[in-house]
Amino acid sequence: MSDSSTRQAVPAQQARLAHQTALAPRTPRAGGLELAAVLAVGTVLTVALTYPLAFGIGSVGRVDNGDGQFSIWNVAWVARTLVVDPLHVYDANIFYPHRWTLAYSEGNLGAGVLAVPAYWVTRNPYFAHNFVVLLAFLLTATGTYYLVRYLTGDRRAAAVSAICFAFCPHVFGHLPHIQALMAAGLPFSMLAFHRLADRPTPGRGVVLGLVMAAQAISSGYYGVFLLLMVGFTVFVMATTRGLWADTRYWTAIAIGAVVAILLVGPLFVPYEVLQRTIGFGRSLEEARRYSANWSSYLASSAYSHAWLLRFLPRWTEVNFPGLVATVFGVAGMLLVRSPRDREIVFVYGGLALLFCWLSFGPDAGLYA
């Protein structure tokens, strides 16, 4: 190599190194004491904010509607059958003599797995279901805490974010729907992805695939959201970090995708069978009926926000993110300084806009 080409290469390498350093994570080393504190505070908040669920864990529940009753039965059925007859877990004791009847709705296999010890210790469907409800809040808060802590290096920001996401009005508006509470895989998957992007290895690809698969079998809805989240972020990171030609990055991503597909694919065979044999599906009109409208983003399930509801026209969903989340989120986007902060804003700001658009369904052009 000539002296002139060497002199040109050195500044380019230095610039690339400086860019990578600016995007490096700022996370202080985590320890067991911090994890214990997160779990302890998360448990207290979960018990307090879901009161009186923990104090009547074996006898209370949202049985005031069919969805709540179905969730209790569903979790108990899966927890029982995974132990005594796992190969026939989809042949639920409903709609006899038809097969694959658990696939008429969300299978909730993830919730059933978590409920196994609670169900077999108590043989109480209420206890098993409520145990998973409480655990879902705790795991979601924990995952969000560690995701934000990894991205910002700030424990205070992590704590506020964990509370805002895990205990948001949308979640409390869906207490009868166990699959809507199983959101922990979202922050844990994004944490796994960011770790992979910062240092791509096959092992981190496997971890990403495992966590994504866990989310998909816990909630098919959130599984679809997660696929879009990770897919969007994969290409954003490839662009902002110049990773399009990085074989380590794409190899780790491919490993994660293969692991997730291998684990999740077989569990969705019953849904494909039902689709092929009975033609089960949703119409555009049904999608429109259950989509959000602008009022949904001001509608809240919290008592403290009830005063606002009387001023709203008909809303179709509870999507209010909360005052603290809104104020801090907007302030955070406006006050970015470092390249890593700008990257985070681009990723999560872009995801917020994407999912806001998707939530409006056919009226916003989706499926149409």
What DSSP string runs through 113-162?
HHHHHHHHHH--HHHHHHHHHHHHHHHHHHHHHHHHHHHH--HHHHHHHH
Tokens at residue 146, please?
A: 């560690």
Range 112-137 average pLDDT: 98
131-151 average pLDDT score: 98
| pLDDT category of residue 15 using cuts at 50, 70 and 90 | very low
Dist. CA 107–CA 109, nearest whole Å: 5
Which residues touch 144 (CB under 8 Å, ≥6 apart)?
158, 161, 162, 165, 166, 187
pLDDT (average), residues 208-234: 97
User: What's the DSSP call for residue 19?
Assistant: H
pLDDT tens-digit readout, 313-353: 888 889 999 889 999 999 988 888 888 899 999 999 999 99
CA distances from 72 to 12, 17, 220 (A): 60, 54, 18
**Closest Cα partner for 359 from 218, 230, 221, 236?**
221
Q: Residue 301, SS3?
A: coil
The domain spans of the chain are: 34-182, 184-281, 282-368
Question: Token match 């005594």: residue?
Answer: 84
Contact predicate 183/219, CB 8 Å:
yes
Angle at 303 between CA 136 and CA 139, to 5 degrees: 10
CB 339 within 8 A of CB 22: yes
**Whole-angstrom Cα distance, residue 33 to residue 38?**
9
Give the whole-angstrom CA distance, residue 180 versus residue 183.
7
Q: Quote the percentage of the chain above a pLDDT of 70.
A: 92
Distance CA 107, CA 104 (A): 8
Q: Do 218 and 185 meet the contact criterion of CB atoms below 8 Å apart? A: yes
Within the chain, how many helices (H) and strands (E) appear?
Answer: 17, 0
Cis preceding linkage at 11, omega within 30: no
Contact 259, 216 (CB under 8 A): no
Confidence of residue 144 (pLDDT cuts 50, 70, 90): very high
348 φ, ψ to 5°? Answer: -80, -30
Amino acid 12: pLDDT: 46
pLDDT of residue 305: 80
- Find out whether 67 and 61 touch, Cβ atoms under 8 Å: no
Find the distance separating the first CA and the last CA of the chain, reported in whole Å: 57
Q: Residues 120-149: what's their mean pLDDT?
A: 98
Task: Give the SS3 label for residue 280.
Answer: coil
Per-residue pLDDT, 8: 54
> What is residue 336's predicted lDDT score, i.e. its pLDDT?
86
**pLDDT, mean over the chain:** 90
pTM: predicted TM-score of the whole model, two decimal places = 0.90
Q: Other C-beta atoms within 10 Å of 179: how many?
A: 22
- Integer angstrom CA distances of residue 264 from 49, 109, 198: 33, 11, 26
